[in-house]
Structure 1
Amino acid sequence: MKYMYTYDVMEATRNTNEWLGATARAFASSPVWGLAPSPMFKMMSAWGRVTERSFARMVIKPDWGIRSIVGDDGRDHLVEVETAVARPFGDLVHFKVLGQEPRTRKVMIVAPMSGHYATLVRSTVISLLPDCDVYVTDWHNARDIPVSAGKFDIEDYTLYLVDFMRHLGPDTHVVAICQPAPLTLAATAYLAAEDPEAQPRSLILIGGPIDPDAADTEVTDFGRRVTMGQLEHLAIQRVGFKYAGAGRLVYPGLLQLAGFISMNLETHSKAFQDKILAASKGEDSEHDRHNVFYDEYLAVMDMTAEFYLSTVERIFKNLEIARNAFVVDGKKVDIGAITSVAVMTVEGANDDISAPGQCVAALDLCTGLPASKKAQHLEPGAGHYGIFAGKSWRNNIRPLVLNFIDSNSAAPKAAVKLQAV
């Protein structure tokens, strides 16, 4: 299915549904129907508004929407999002808080590149800004990157993280959320061997598939069932003529979204039914819980084909990170080379995407790290999203992460060389 035709058909289908929603909304909202009041028109208008908004969101990159935070002085401080490092496939962005005293905790959040934009971790950023100097990896939509920019696979991704860590310096604390956890661990090990002075102070891995075989989920089952040939044939398409990346092989975000929704179809169906009913009664609002969630959830991005396929093959099928057999740019990455970076893992007891056991496996791989530099936390009752953005994160996990950062902020002591007399 590596054709522009299939990609354009999918985009045309999305565009048609957006148009149908807009048409139904406009038709049913006409003042003329006030002469013949009927709940049918209110229901049609509500369906149109919800449908138009939902399908329009799928091709719009969400804004960070972080305008200000309250400082220690009780005043609102404006927040500027600036680019610290610019790269073709992703930038390192900095959340600069104007007028606030510099924070000693420098945190780099490695956002997932698994179909959604980095804004998925917006609430995580908001929760850390009062106490930390925050940087985030902002990955670009592959459909907007010209073919001339070249390839981008998991080795390139890992080297991007290496460059970002080098830029920020050794007084950095890295927080990797979900998908990037194994590659962030590899990037840290790469630095430990190639440039020890650039290693971060600590590494917090949240709900990531370090060892996918440690616990079964629908994601791991899918990875075992499908061959790479089947996956490439069924999932990979070429970007259509509408976008700057025309001709680039990608795993389309719309296809990924269809997979996400199918996993919890009943839940999503009920959410939209309830929203349409509330809208028909005039009981909804622009920024209600449904819109806030789905404006982010439905906004999807394409991944390069080589990144998606190499992730499935090397991380999930071949278990290269779990077996400590990962290679980057021709160099074997030994996770045991990490000897001074404190490592903490966080898992949710009810996580159905990266189940308990998958992330904590990182600690066993860090054979060169003393027990005093390792920590783990299993959050009871928390699902995948809750361990980095929900109530469990705010009330329980965030304080633990900040304490771990503070406990490991001092520079490691230099080794003392004994000289012969």
Structure 2
Amino acid sequence: MYYHLYEMNHAMMAPWRAAADQMRLAFRNPFNPLAHTYFGRTVAASMEVLERTTRRYGKPAFGLGETLIDGKPVSVHEKIVWQAPFCNLIHFERCLPAGHRRDPKVLVVAPMSGHYATLLRGTVEALLPAAEVYITDWVDARMVPASDGSFDLDDYIDYVIQMIHTLGPDTHVMAVCQPAVPVLAAVALMEADDDPLSPSTMTLMGGPIDTRINPTAVNKLAEEKPIEWFQDNVIMPVPWPQPGVMRLVYPGFLQLSGFMSMNLDRHVIAHKEFFAHLVKNDGDAAEKHREFYDEYLAVMDLTAEFYLQTVETVFMRHALPKGEMMHRTRPVDTTAIRKVALLTVEGENDDISGVGQTRAAQTICTAIPDQMRMHYVQPDVGHYGVFNGSRFRKEIAPRILAFIGEHGKTDRAKPRPRVIRGGKAGDAA
């Protein structure tokens, strides 16, 4: 019912959005004398804020058409190399110069938590100069017909294993936030099978491995409510005329509402500043606001079975760190991981996955040799800063690439990772 009301409200606002956009264009037209006045700029700014706060944001593009390799620009093309109903595996294929060294294959597993994989655009961009990058491009559940079947946490783990098999030997897997648990489970299952295609390294970043450690507001909500509460209050059928009509989902707009409410004052201030920048004709600052919110406000639905199983397994039962997680009828044994090097990364100010939650992977993966593991805490960053932004580019990405180079199995050059020992900046696990 709520999903239908949301869709109806969006449809009812369509004429107002169109009118606001027309008025914005009229008051920004250089041939309109009022466009050069404070009044005209105020009207145009008001109309843009109205239009942007009531629109539905579609899936953004990665827009990574070029990267620098050895100081020279090379073109980059997106290529789908594996497909399933709920995910496409995208390869950012670089047009490499002849004789270029063989770079590591990095599978970036993007979170299926309400935002599109393009949220990791900065992550991919930072890795491209030194790696063959692949990313999981999860499909909006409301766009998948019900005839394509269900998708739960077990299916997610199967997808990860299939993609690692597709990429072949010496693959390096990186899980950002939510996929830390299913990726760790997938690697544990592969190692238990003595799979020759097990990844060379596994990097877990800001993930909820053990949410009993420094629980955040998100963790506490899951612990305070029974699973039936989530089933009754946040699971809804997709309305017509979407392709996934009648599929039960956790709507993206609910997830976005939760994220917005956690830092509501910050978002209100950001929009006030955006309005002021528009009135002052500060184009650069206004464009930065547009770029961030075009990405942040673009959300996707999750299948009900995946959402509920994740909430119960990860946040309520803490099944993985307790050694009780099952993949279908099979136990997930993290002590089976022996040959996969492990890097865990956390942000000092992370309010989604508290400090220590990701590092817990180091504790439960007891069979990994000490020389094949490392932990790093990035000072002065929150959750988003763990995988994006200037500190990620300057501090975190180089450590990840160095760790991959150190533990890869190919004959390329292997720089040693930089490890900060002692203090809260990070340490070897």
Same fold (TM over 0.5): yes
Residue 343 of structure 1 aligns to a residue whose secondary structure is strand
Does 2:256 correspond to 1:260? no
Residue 175 of structure 2 aligns to a residue whose secondary structure is strand
Relative distance call for 1:59 and 1:149 in structure 2 (3 A) is farther
Per-residue CA deviations over 1:303-357 (Å, capped at 9, x if unaligned) read 0011111111111001111112111131111111001100110011111110111
- The separation in 2 between residues aligned to 1:36 and 1:306, in whole angstroms, is 52
- The separation in 2 between residues aligned to 1:36 and 1:355, in whole angstroms, is 48
Structure 1 unpaired stretches of 5+: 412-421
The equivalent residue for 2:426 is none
- The separation in 2 between residues aligned to 1:117 and 1:335, in whole angstroms, is 29
- The separation in 2 between residues aligned to 1:267 and 1:92, in whole angstroms, is 34
Aligned AA (2:142): R
Which of residues 41, 65, 68 is equivalent to 1:67?
A: 65
Does structure 1 conserve the Cα–Cα contact (< 8 Å) formed by 2:158 and 2:186?
Answer: yes
The equivalent residue for 1:415 is none
Relative distance call for 1:18 and 1:256 in structure 2 (3 A) is farther
The equivalent residue for 1:92 is 89
Larger mean Cα displacement after TM superposition, 47-56 or 258-267: 47-56
- The separation in 2 between residues aligned to 1:398 and 1:29, in whole angstroms, is 41
Per-residue CA deviations over 1:112-170 (Å, capped at 9, x if unaligned) read 11000000110110111010010101100000000011111111101100101111123
Does structure 1 conserve the Cα–Cα contact (< 8 Å) formed by 2:3 and 2:236?
Answer: yes
- The separation in 2 between residues aligned to 1:230 and 1:261, in whole angstroms, is 21
Aligned AA (1:267): R
- The separation in 1 between residues aligned to 2:227 and 2:307, in whole angstroms, is 11
The equivalent residue for 2:77 is 80
- The separation in 1 between residues aligned to 2:35 and 2:388, in whole angstroms, is 47
- The separation in 1 between residues aligned to 2:304 and 2:192, in whole angstroms, is 29
Question: Once superposed, what is the RMSD of the aligned Cα atoms?
Answer: 2.0
The equivalent residue for 2:135 is 136
The equivalent residue for 2:6 is 10
* Offset of residue 70 of structure 1: 2.1
Aligned AA (2:203): I
- The separation in 2 between residues aligned to 1:96 and 1:44, in whole angstroms, is 45
Larger mean Cα displacement after TM superposition, 184-193 or 38-47: 38-47
The equivalent residue for 1:351 is 350
Relative distance call for 1:349 and 1:39 in structure 2 (3 A) is same
The equivalent residue for 2:160 is 161
The equivalent residue for 2:193 is 194
Aligned AA (2:18): A
* Offset of residue 281 of structure 1: 3.0
- The separation in 2 between residues aligned to 1:368 and 1:36, in whole angstroms, is 68
Residue 358 of structure 1 aligns to a residue whose secondary structure is coil
> Would you say how many aligned residue pairs link Structure 1 and Structure 2?
405
- The separation in 1 between residues aligned to 2:181 and 2:44, in whole angstroms, is 46
* Offset of residue 33 of structure 1: 7.9
- The separation in 2 between residues aligned to 1:16 and 1:265, in whole angstroms, is 25
Residue 9 of structure 2 aligns to a residue whose secondary structure is helix
Does structure 1 conserve the Cα–Cα contact (< 8 Å) formed by 2:21 and 2:48?
Answer: yes
- Aligned pairs (5 A) from 1:96-107: 96-100=93-97, 101=100, 103-107=102-106
Relative distance call for 1:102 and 1:298 in structure 2 (3 A) is farther
- Aligned pairs (5 A) from 1:171-182: 171-182=170-181
Aligned AA (1:61): K
- The separation in 1 between residues aligned to 2:174 and 2:34, in whole angstroms, is 59
- Aligned pairs (5 A) from 1:14-413: 14-17=10-13, 19-27=15-23, 30=26, 34=33, 39-56=38-55, 58-72=56-70, 74-100=71-97, 101=100, 103-284=102-283, 288-410=287-409
* Offset of residue 196 of structure 1: 2.0
Structure 2 unpaired stretches of 5+: 411-429
Aligned AA (1:88): P
Relative distance call for 1:29 and 1:123 in structure 2 (3 A) is closer
The equivalent residue for 2:422 is none
- The separation in 1 between residues aligned to 2:349 and 2:34, in whole angstroms, is 53
- The separation in 2 between residues aligned to 1:270 and 1:339, in whole angstroms, is 49
- The separation in 2 between residues aligned to 1:352 and 1:404, in whole angstroms, is 26
Relative distance call for 1:71 and 1:284 in structure 2 (3 A) is same
Name the TM-score, length of structure 1 as normaliser.
Answer: 0.91
Relative distance call for 1:59 and 1:391 in structure 2 (3 A) is closer
- The separation in 2 between residues aligned to 1:149 and 1:300, in whole angstroms, is 21
- The separation in 2 between residues aligned to 1:28 and 1:186, in whole angstroms, is 51
Relative distance call for 1:42 and 1:308 in structure 2 (3 A) is same
Aligned AA (1:209): P
Does structure 2 conserve the Cα–Cα contact (< 8 Å) formed by 1:349 and 1:381?
Answer: yes
Relative distance call for 1:137 and 1:29 in structure 2 (3 A) is closer
Does structure 1 conserve the Cα–Cα contact (< 8 Å) formed by 2:234 and 2:254?
Answer: yes
Does structure 2 conserve the Cα–Cα contact (< 8 Å) formed by 1:211 and 1:358?
Answer: yes
* Offset of residue 86 of structure 1: 0.5
